[in-house]
Amino acid sequence: MVNHSQTVFDVTASTYDKDRARLIPGHDRFYGWAVGLIPADARRILDLGAGSGGLTALVRKAFPEAQIHLLDFSAPMLELANQRLGDDAGVTYEVGDYTRAKLPKGLDAIVSALSIHHLDDADKPQLFVRAHEALKPGGVFLNADQVLGPTPELEARYKALWLAQVRENGATEQQIRDSLYRQQEDRCATVEQQLQWMRDAGFADADCWFKDNRFAVMAGTKAA
């Protein structure tokens, strides 16, 4: 199946930020867990699929001394990140596909939010291997993402619950339609499968630290 994720984000970049808070039930706790799992002494951080910089801005606030590199294949999304983060010598931007781009080495943390579920399943474990290689010993890989229900029944319940949650959150029918349009490009994998791929890649303590319906925060450490 052809992957149209880049086009989808290029086209919907302008509405993405406005929609985000309403379309991610448990938004603050989800992102809070993602930032909270980064080692306190992290100085070199890579954000995979940084998009409009929603996660990056929180990381920046918690790690004002860190060098943060944003990698994303949608130039319009990175442009929004640049507007959000402003003039900051500690922040660098790269337009590129992270399944192919050379990742910086010796990183303290690799973070990613709501992005890796756009990859085909064959590409996810390869990315986890490359993330493991790019980290320093003791470095952390953190993936805050949408996951697949472990059974078709649970997947159907995830969908129904998400619709009820976002309507309760005040999402408009247009916002829901835009989100469903983006979701055409989703290729979610289960938590169990992703933790196994992380362990196979060499992560010592892969675990899921937070989960609210299909929104999960998974992390693993490269052994010191």
Ligand X SMILES: C[S@@+](CC[C@H](N)C(=O)[O-])C[C@H]1O[C@@H](n2cnc3c(N)ncnc32)[C@H](O)[C@@H]1O
Where do contacts with ligand X occur on this chain (CB under 6 A)? 5-6, 9, 49-52, 54-55, 72-74, 77, 97-99, 113-115, 118
> Which of 76, 138 has the CB closer to ligand X?
76
First to last CA, the chain: 39
**Shortest distance, CB of residue 24 to ligand X, whole angstroms?**
9
**Closer residue to ligand X in complex, CB, 11/138:** 11
Among all chains, which residue has been given the structure tokens 């791929």? 197
> For residues 198 and 206, is the Cβ–Cβ distance under 8 A?
yes
The set of residues, in sequence order, having a beta carbon less than 8 Å from that of 195 and lying 6+ positions away, is: 206, 207, 208, 218, 220
Report the residue closest to ligand X, judged by CB.
Answer: 51
Task: Please state at what angle helix 54-62 crosses helix 27-36, rounded to 10 degrees.
Answer: 50
Closest CB to ligand X among 132 and 182? 182
CB of 43 to ligand X, least distance (A): 21
Grouping H, G, I as helix, E, B as strand and the rest as coil, residue 220 is strand
State the minimum distance, in angstroms, from the CB of residue 64 to ligand X.
Answer: 20
Least CB distance to ligand X at residue 29 (A): 14
CB-wise, 19 or 108, nearer to ligand X?
A: 19
Separation of alpha carbons 85 and 104, rounded Å: 21
